[in-house]
Structure 1
Amino acid sequence: MRYALRAEWTKLWTVPGTAWLLLGAVVGTAGLGALAAAACSPGECGADPTRTSLTGIHIGQSVVAILAVLAIGGEYATGMMRVTLAAIPRRPAVLAAKAAVLAAVVVPAAAVAVPASLLSGDTPSLSGGPVLRAALGSVLYLLLVALLALGVATVVRHPAAAIGCVLGLLYLFPIVAAAMADPDWQRRLEKVGPMSAGQSIQATTGLDGLPVGPWAGLGVLALWAAGALLAGALALQARDA
């Protein structure tokens, strides 16, 4: 496993786009959050300034999803996956190493972007319980989106198609829910959608009105990520490179 981790770390950092994508995730998340907070005077854009300051997560999640897709989809596109599997025949170890290396770069980037977003807005102290939970949960949210994207890309293989599938999974549920006339169906879709449920972790006020609780919502996203990784592991094991 140590050899697989070293190999995946080297491959990830020899791709020129990795550093730029991580920088884009930090700047996009913090920048959009700062703009959203600056555009709203207290009480003008809702009663939850913390969630307003975390608006940039919408950009950050797209960037880390692209990074995760390229971590494995790029190897399929270039044929490098055949070399990888020849060097490391244990295919589950390859996927596990990719997931671990991805987590090792996404978590630090998110740990910079999320506090920067909150500090730029009119949010209470980060030491406060709900705000601290929103901050830690948002870091985990970005990590889980990256793992979800990695699993989907392992199944789909084609980078462009995988990116489309991941973004579709994230944004389709809120779009369909908004189009539903029945409030009960709206709440059902918001409860099971990976983005709508996962972003409940950002809420610090009005928790009783959420379709799903903050940690339960993040758990829904975790189930999506785990399911995608399991499907990816099975596909990697069953198909030729």
Structure 2
Amino acid sequence: MNATGLPAWRRACRAEWTKLRTESGFRWLLACAVVVTVAVGAATSGTVRCCGYDPARLALSGVTVGQAVVAVLGVLCVGGEYGTGMIHTTLSAVPARTRVLAAKAVVVGAAVAGAGLVAVLGSLLAGHLLLPGAPSMTDGPTLRAAVGSVLYLVLVALLALGLAFAVREGAVASGTVLALLYLFPLIGHVVTDPWLQRQLSRVGPMPAGLAVQATTGLDHLPIAPWTGLGVLALWAAAGLLLGGAVLRRRDA
């Protein structure tokens, strides 16, 4: 406790929130993530004229594009401070470096969760209006796809945050995160071996994580929906652990 009566971790979270909410770029990126996700999902839904599709997955297809904005947002929260030298002030105010990482993760995760919820609800609403024969947005599989998509975006942001602490250079960190997300699907489209394609879908952060959006044909998925999201959670945890280790051992 200090004179304000707040625990140290709450003061750290409040400081991180103050920095982020006063950063106009952060707000614009959150808004951009919502708009891009809903727009791509609506555009995809509007092109479907037949049956035999997964309505929830189509409506939420914009997540595959919106995640890029979320990844850049996660990197910006760290890379911006290293670029301006503000990281020295941050670490002087909060000497416990693990607490800095945890506070940033909590604040960024909460902000992305809020924006992701708006984006997902908007995408599902657009899909409900545009897709022929779309099911109710309140059925079990669709709710799981919706909640899972919000968690997916949060985990992508945390992965980006951790790698940004490890790399420290914003452009390099952004490229690394985007490569991790999109490389596995690209390789999966290039290779011709079905077994290898299936394994890539099981271990890649993007294909495994997006399995949570599936509401039909679950028996044919390379990985179960929640298990796939767990794979992405492991990637995010690894990124945060790596970032925390670098943050503790290297000078700012």
TM over 0.5: yes
* Counterpart in the other structure of 1:192: 203
Q: Equivalent residues in 2 for 1:31-70 (5 A)?
A: 31-43=39-51, 47-70=53-76
Q: Percent identity?
A: 58
**Whole-Å separation in 1 of the counterparts to 2:250 and 2:22:** 27
* Counterpart in the other structure of 1:114: 120
Matching of residue 26 in structure 1 with residue 34 in structure 2? yes
**Whole-Å separation in 2 of the counterparts to 1:119 and 1:170:** 26
The SS at the match of 1:120 is helix
* Counterpart in the other structure of 2:231: 220
Moved over 3 A (4+): none
* Counterpart in the other structure of 1:73: 79
Matching of residue 140 in structure 1 with residue 140 in structure 2? no
The SS at the match of 1:117 is helix
Amino acid at match of 2:93: A
- CA-to-partner distance for each residue in 1:61-112, whole Å, 9 max, x for gaps? 1111111100011101111111111111000000000000001211111111
Cα drift, residue 6 of structure 1: 1.1
Matching of residue 233 in structure 1 with residue 244 in structure 2? yes
* Counterpart in the other structure of 2:106: 100
* Counterpart in the other structure of 2:190: 179
Select between 125-134 and 92-101 the one with higher mean Cα deviation.
125-134
- CA-to-partner distance for each residue in 1:138-170, whole Å, 9 max, x for gaps? 000000000011011110110011000000000
Matching of residue 211 in structure 1 with residue 213 in structure 2? no
Amino acid at match of 1:7: A
Please list every run of 5 or more consecutive structure 2 residues that lacks an aligned counterpart in the other structure: 1-8
The SS at the match of 2:135 is coil
Matching of residue 7 in structure 1 with residue 30 in structure 2? no
The SS at the match of 2:37 is helix
Q: What is the TM-score of this pair, normalised by structure 1?
A: 0.97
**Whole-Å separation in 2 of the counterparts to 1:145 and 1:119:** 23
Amino acid at match of 1:190: S
Amino acid at match of 1:218: L
The SS at the match of 2:34 is helix
Amino acid at match of 1:226: A
Cα drift, residue 55 of structure 1: 1.1
Cα drift, residue 50 of structure 1: 1.1
**Whole-Å separation in 1 of the counterparts to 2:135 and 2:202:** 27
Cα drift, residue 14 of structure 1: 1.8
- CA-to-partner distance for each residue in 1:36-76, whole Å, 9 max, x for gaps? 00011132xx5212111111101211111111100011101
**Whole-Å separation in 2 of the counterparts to 1:115 and 1:209:** 27
Amino acid at match of 1:16: S
Identify the match of residue 162 of structure 2 among 151, 160, 163. Answer: 151
Amino acid at match of 2:165: T
Cα drift, residue 125 of structure 1: 1.2
**Whole-Å separation in 2 of the counterparts to 1:66 and 1:13:** 16
What is the Cα-based RMSD across aligned positions, in Å?
0.9
Select between 46-55 and 3-12 the one with higher mean Cα deviation.
46-55
Q: What is the TM-score of this pair, normalised by structure 2?
A: 0.93
